[in-house]
Amino acid sequence: MSAGSFADESGAMSKAEKLAWLHFGLLLIAAGYMGWLWWSSWPDTEVLRRNANLFGQWLNWLVIVAIASVWLIKLRGPKEPLADERDRAINGEARTNGFAALAIMVYLMAVLVHVDGWQAQVTPPWMSLAMMSMLALALLVDAGCRIVRYRWPG
Closest CA to 73 of 19, 27, 125, 139: 19
Options 82, 125, 147, 148; binder of other proteins; rule CB under 8 A: 125
When the beta carbons of 7 and 101 are compared against other proteins, the nearer one is: 101
Minimum distance between the CB of residue 37 and other proteins, rounded to whole angstroms? 12
When the beta carbons of 61 and 107 are compared against other proteins, the nearer one is: 107
For position 141 contacting other proteins by CB under 8 A, the verdict is no
**Where do contacts with other proteins occur on this chain (CB under 8 A)?**
48-49, 52, 92-93, 95-96, 98-99, 102-103, 106-107, 109-111, 113-114, 119, 122, 124-125, 127-129, 131-132, 134-135, 138
